[in-house]
A and B are shown apart, each in its own frame.
Chain A
Amino acid sequence: MKLKVAEAIVKCFELEGINTIFGYPGGAVLPLYEALRQSNIKHILVRQEQSAAHMASGYGRASGTVGVCLATSGPGATNLITGIATAYMDSIPLIAITGQVLSDKIGTDMFQEADIVGATEPFTKHNYLIKSKNDIPRVMKEAFYIANTGRKGPVLIDIPKDIQNEVIDFKYPETIDIRGYKPTYTGHARQIEKAYRIIESAKQPLICVGGGISSSDCKDELIEFVEKTKIPVVCTLMGVDSYPNDSPYFAGLLGAHGYPFVNNAMNKADLVIVIGARFTDRSTSVLAAKSNQHIIHIDIDPAEIGKNMKTNTPIVGDAKNILKQLCEYDYHLDNDKWSDNIRYSRQSYIEENINKEWELEGVNPFRLIKAISDEADETTIMTADVGQNQIWAAHYFTASRNRQFLTSGGLGTMGYSLSAAIGAKFASGKEHTVVAVMGEGGFQMLMGELALVKEHNLNIKIFVISNSRLGMVRELQLLAYTKDSYHGVEIGFNPDFMKLADAYGLKGYRISHDNEIDSVLKEVFSKDEPCFVECKVHPDFPTLAHWRWK
């Protein structure tokens, strides 16, 4: 079949099942847009390219497929970078297509020229600069394969404008053979057996899960493994939606912004089974170094094993397969007292903090998120931004399935939440309610995307928690210096958010006191339309309830 390269690319999208693309046009992608115009693929015009990457990421995360974003050369491409880096740090499959200047003019600093392949080398799983028209079918096939297999991640393809117009004899390859890329999926039998024996003899074991559980879609296998072993589950920020949060075995978030009883349990555990988590500084900085603790580390990426922590028993492979392999054994652990203790600690910590009265004006964000969570069900998807709102959401939203809690865990990208929610909404359709939680700082970074909510009538419930501060940085300043050291964290002017919502054609609500939470949420969640809710929180409200410096 004779096709222009631009048409061939669109054809590849169709063959890969892509029906939505988030993009922003420009001179270097004119042929691609002409080909898209003639296809059935929906193009969502974003307001800034960074959002296109976040939306594609949210789309991919919510649906378990690969999201696609598209930008022109130069500034279009460089704007994508933060979104690509965000996806890379969280191992989210993503295809980014960028236009490039004419192939024989590359390197001459043409108008809107940028070396995006060089620039995104550190942030992509792989990237390509197309130099020959005939490479297109192979590269497209490889890109989707690389993005969505092994440890998933973003792949960027940079295509010069002149090549987009060339004609090729199109044939999509059926098979793939990349000599240097053969991910391991099945756990080594001997390592599995060794792990089983160690688990059997553990007295105070813990399971620590990360984003790998959602990536591998193995919630059911995890549930079975936990039921067999009765081992409590702690999670990283990426793993909040790994395991049903209302299960008696669920302990909660660990790390610098985790629950104190979880970190305590981590310090006391004689065995930690880490699954699909990489133990960054954010997870481990508050943990004591332990020499007599056994670590079993299960990950699909061999490079993660031993990188951030000493591992006694590594198992490389897909979490789903390895959990299945581990479930083949019968377990006879005697750790009821240990599990019960953790369960009681969780109950009392959460109860105490939800009920505690803070003599601070405004809304109690713990109660707010808890109330949102009470309105939510299995179909709800929550996106959280970065900062205090992220931690409040992670602690008090009760996730019950994989791909339900989307946040920028690794890179910590402000502005992620609204765009990711838009992407998730496009992916999940009518039957899913999407809730986006963010602070006013992150919201205003990519605020322009509000227009898309109206334009496409996306039923997203937007919660902007406002305290006229960059709350988490302010808290860091306080912890690092003194109370008089706040600098650059006060948001001197906020727009009238109700007028702003109105200007964007959205219904706006404001919650200023706890007693308004229920009535507003009831109305917001009963409406089949997008809603914008501003929630006033006092600047002194801490991220964690036990951080009380007053």
Chain B
Amino acid sequence: MKPERHVLSITVENYSGTLSKVAGLFSRRGYNIDTLTVAETMDPNISRITVTVTGDEEILEQITKQLNKLIHVIKITDLTLKKSILRELMFLKISCTKDTRSEIIQMSDVFKGKTVDIGAKSITIEMTGDEDKNNAFIELIRPYGIVEIVRTGLTAIERG
């Protein structure tokens, strides 16, 4: 079985310590978390944790079952298996000169990025998209010199 990337959407009771219990379970059982985001849902008593993990079917099954055993975990959905929308927010600080600035802005426009800050030697772009698109933009912009990248990790929602 080939290891594949999975996006798990986990709803949990919003008690202190719940995130640590979820994250601890991954490290304890030897599973790697690629990305993790967490925030309240429309019900302030419930939070949503979105994690991406890489593993084969067997590992995914164990992860899901072990997560389900945590008392404060309410529901786990594997969004990779469903039609879902995946997004990630990213900030890129790119070094630039007066000459290259407009080039970068143009390219960012094509990728539907937003210029959020301009300094003397750098420009900061905000970009939302799935990981593929964000990675493509990073590669495109790399020759200009990337000062810093900040990525939120994937978050996702089921369609329909």
Q: Say yes or no: is B35 at the interface (Cβ < 8 Å to chain A).
A: no
Interface string of B39-80 (1 = CB under 8 A from A): 000000000000000000010011001101111111100000
What is the count of residue pairs linking A and B with beta-carbon distances less than 8 angstroms? 40
Nearest-Cβ distance from residue B69 to partner chain A, whole angstroms: 6
Of B20, B62, B75, the contact of A307 (CB 8 Å cutoff): B62
**Contact-size category for A:** 10 to 19
Q: Say yes or no: is B16 at the interface (Cβ < 8 Å to chain A).
A: yes
How many angstroms from the CA of A179 to the CA of B68 in the assembled complex? 11
Q: Which residues of A contact B69 (CB under 8 A)?
A: 301, 303
Q: Are A306 and B61 in contact (CB under 8 A)?
A: yes
Pick the most buried of A178, A302, A303: most chain B CB atoms within 10 A of its CB: A303
Q: Say yes or no: is A118 at the interface (Cβ < 8 Å to chain B).
A: yes
Q: Are B65 and A302 in contact (CB under 8 A)?
A: yes
Q: Which residues of A contact B30 (CB under 8 A)?
A: none
Q: Are B16 and A180 in contact (CB under 8 A)?
A: no
Q: Are A121 and B21 in contact (CB under 8 A)?
A: yes
Q: Say yes or no: is B12 at the interface (Cβ < 8 Å to chain A).
A: yes
Q: Say yes or no: is A472 at the interface (Cβ < 8 Å to chain B).
A: no
Q: Say yes or no: is B82 at the interface (Cβ < 8 Å to chain A).
A: no
How many angstroms from the CA of A129 to the CA of B74 in the assembled complex? 20
Q: Say yes or no: is B24 at the interface (Cβ < 8 Å to chain A).
A: yes
Interface string of A99-142 (1 = CB under 8 A from B): 00000000000000000011001100110010100000000000
How many angstroms from the CA of A302 to the CA of B16 in the assembled complex? 26
Which residue of the partner chain B has the closest CB to A150? B69
Which residue of the partner chain A has the closest CB to B27? A122
Q: Say yes or no: is A181 at the interface (Cβ < 8 Å to chain B).
A: yes
Q: Are B20 and A178 in contact (CB under 8 A)?
A: no
Interface string of A519-550 (1 = CB under 8 A from B): 00000000000000000000000000000000
Q: Say yes or no: is A146 at the interface (Cβ < 8 Å to chain B).
A: yes
Of B13, B71, B75, the contact of A125 (CB 8 Å cutoff): B71
Pick the most buried of B16, B20, B65: most chain A CB atoms within 10 A of its CB: B65
Which residue of the partner chain A has the closest CB to B70? A180
Q: Say yes or no: is B28 at the interface (Cβ < 8 Å to chain A).
A: yes
Pick the most buried of A180, A301, A302, A307: most chain B CB atoms within 10 A of its CB: A180
Q: Are A121 and B71 in contact (CB under 8 A)?
A: no
Of A118, A131, A180, the contact of B71 (CB 8 Å cutoff): A180
How many angstroms from the CA of A129 to the CA of B21 in the assembled complex? 13
How many angstroms from the CA of A301 to the CA of B69 in the assembled complex? 8
Of B12, B28, B58, B62, the contact of A180 (CB 8 Å cutoff): B12
How many angstroms from the CA of A129 to the CA of B20 in the assembled complex? 13
Q: Say yes or no: is B17 at the interface (Cβ < 8 Å to chain A).
A: yes
Of A129, A179, A302, the contact of B17 (CB 8 Å cutoff): A129
Q: Are B20 and A146 in contact (CB under 8 A)?
A: no
Which residue of the partner chain A has the closest CB to B12? A180
How many angstroms from the CA of A125 to the CA of B21 in the assembled complex? 11
B:61-104 near A, CB below 8 Å: 61-62, 65-66, 68-75
Nearest-Cβ distance from residue A145 to partner chain B, whole angstroms: 10
Q: Which residues of A contact B21 (CB under 8 A)?
A: 121
How many angstroms from the CA of A118 to the CA of B21 in the assembled complex? 9
Known: A129-B17, A131-B16, A306-B61. Contact between A181 and B71, CB under 8 A? yes
How many angstroms from the CA of A109 to the CA of B9 in the assembled complex? 36
Which A-B residue pairs are the 6 nearest by beta carbons?
A303-B65, A180-B74, A126-B71, A180-B73, A179-B74, A181-B71
17 A-B pairs with CB atoms under 8 Å apart are A118-B20, A121-B20, A122-B24, A126-B70, A129-B16, A129-B17, A131-B16, A178-B71, A180-B71, A180-B73, A180-B74, A180-B75, A302-B68, A303-B62, A303-B65, A303-B66, A306-B61
